[in-house]
Amino acid sequence: MSTDSKFVQSCVFSIPGPIEVTDEVLFANAHPSMSHMSPDFARVFGDCIRMTRQLLYSEDAQPFLIAGSGTLGWDQVSANLVEPGENALVLHSGYFADSFADCLQTYGANVDQIKAEIGGAVKEADIESALQAKKYKIVTVTHVDTSTAVLSDIKAIANVVKRVSPDTLVVVDAVCSVASEEIQMDAWGIDVVLTASQKGLGTPPGLSILVASQKAVQVFENRSTPVTTYYGSWKKWLPVMKAYENNTAAYFATPPVNLIYAFHASLTQIMQGSVSLEQRFKLHKEVSRRVKKAAEEIGFKGVPLSEDVQANGMSALYFPDGFTASDIVPRLLKKDVVVAGGLHASIKDKYFRIGHMGVSVVDPSRGDIDKVISAVKESLAEAKVSKQ
């Protein structure tokens, strides 16, 4: 590891996850070994469950915190909420909808997709038509698709679903939005928010975080067929989560103890730090506007087709005409700014992605965002010179 230690110390790590995390979170991740059955750990786990619920503005939704990546949330939804042969409607605003659909099909769902054009979100009128034509057990929407930086209006979508097909569960893939975009589960009528630790939540990767409304829990409990996963089964995890929320340990599988300490440290900063949750969302909007404006002024163009579908925790930017990833990304890296390449297959080489979430946004004294903006400007200028 010695070869990269200089690199990681001095760089601005600006990909859309894993994001930069605070020293307090890293310190917590190095917590000495603790028993997952100890009262001390149970209290910390219980705090995480309570704070996760609060973060989503819910009174009574049920969090599930399980060792795994964000992907495990798809399995949980597909295997606990949808029974084989039932219908699922997947709203497609980028790469991750294809994968969610693939997961649903693995567990036996009949999947229909509504695909937005690249850079767009699915239109409410199209959702309404689909819901009128067929009965769906769930509708899934990617809140921010990390491949396109497209933000879907989950409040409006939930509203359409409640109006047209009130029994249908609204499932939000919020891996790239929790803690950088506002989500009001109860007020908006969202049934599932699934996410992961390494993006807006500012914790190292390895924790699957899913929050289910009581309505979703009821649907799970009223299944007529057995749950089709073992590791992701809510039958196994629900009693464990309830026990930990009562500050009592319970066992199904060993939780990722250190990561729970790290998550606790980050949630504490998010929920009880000097920047309020509302202010956090506001800062993400401001920084997002600043990054996008600076990039557009020098010829980059956002992948999202209009301002109302632009994510606030990341930007996906087409290179200016005549430039490609190889002109820009290596130059950014030389300036110690780490960004992500394209991910959406159809436009992979035409754009790149910048993450602006978490501590880089809420702590301007780090200078992360300024450094990224300057580096993008300088890199393009250098690329122009090299082509002359």
Residues within the interface to a copy of itself (CB under 8 A) = 1, 3-4, 7-9, 13, 15, 17-21, 26-38, 40, 44, 67-72, 74-75, 78, 102-103, 106-107, 196, 198, 204-208, 226-233, 252-259, 261, 264, 338, 340
187 vs 253, which CB is nearer to a copy of itself? 253
CB of 366 to a copy of itself, least distance (A): 13
- From the number of C-beta atoms within 10 Å of its C-beta (0-12, 13-18, 19+), residue 113 rates as middle
Residues sharing a CB contact under 8 Å with residue 9, sequence separation 6 or more, in sequence order: none
C-beta closer to a copy of itself: residue 91 or 207: 207
Q: How far is the CB of 133 from a copy of itself (least distance, A)?
A: 27
Taking the C-alpha atoms of residue 331 and residue 350, their distance in angstroms, rounded to an integer, is 16
- Per-residue exposure over 188-213, b if at least 16 CB sit within 10 Å of its own CB, e if not: bbbbbbbbbbbbbbbbbebbbbbbbb
Maximum CA pair distance of the chain? 68
CA distances from 228 to 14, 54, 211, 359 (A): 38, 30, 19, 38
CB of 8 or CB of 381, closer to a copy of itself: 8
Which distant-in-sequence residues (6+ apart) come within 8 Å of 283 by Cβ?
275, 361, 362
Q: Nearest-CA neighbor of 350 among 326, 379, 377, 319? A: 319
Amino acid at 277: L
Question: Would you say 190 or 249 has its CB closer to a copy of itself?
Answer: 249
Nearer CB in complex with a copy of itself: 292/353: 353
Closest separation between CB of residue 220 and a copy of itself, Å?
A: 15
Q: Could you say which DSSP state residue 152 is in?
A: P
Cα 272 from Cα 208, distance rounded (Å): 22
Q: How far is the CB of 170 from a copy of itself (least distance, A)?
A: 21
Least spacing, CB of residue 281 vs a copy of itself, in Å = 22
How many whole angstroms separate alpha carbon 314 and alpha carbon 14?
A: 9
Residue appearing with tokens 């920047």 = 275
Residue 353 assigned to a binding site: yes
Closest approach of a copy of itself to the CB of residue 240, in Å? 12
Query: Among residues 141 and 359, whose Cβ is nearest to a copy of itself?
Result: 359
Report the residue number, 10 or 388, with the smaller CB distance to a copy of itself.
10
CA distance 30 to 56: 27
Please report, as a single letter, which amino acid is at residue 50: R
CB of 21 to a copy of itself, least distance (A): 6
Binding site as annotated, residues for substrate:
353
Give the residue ranges of the annotated binding site. 353
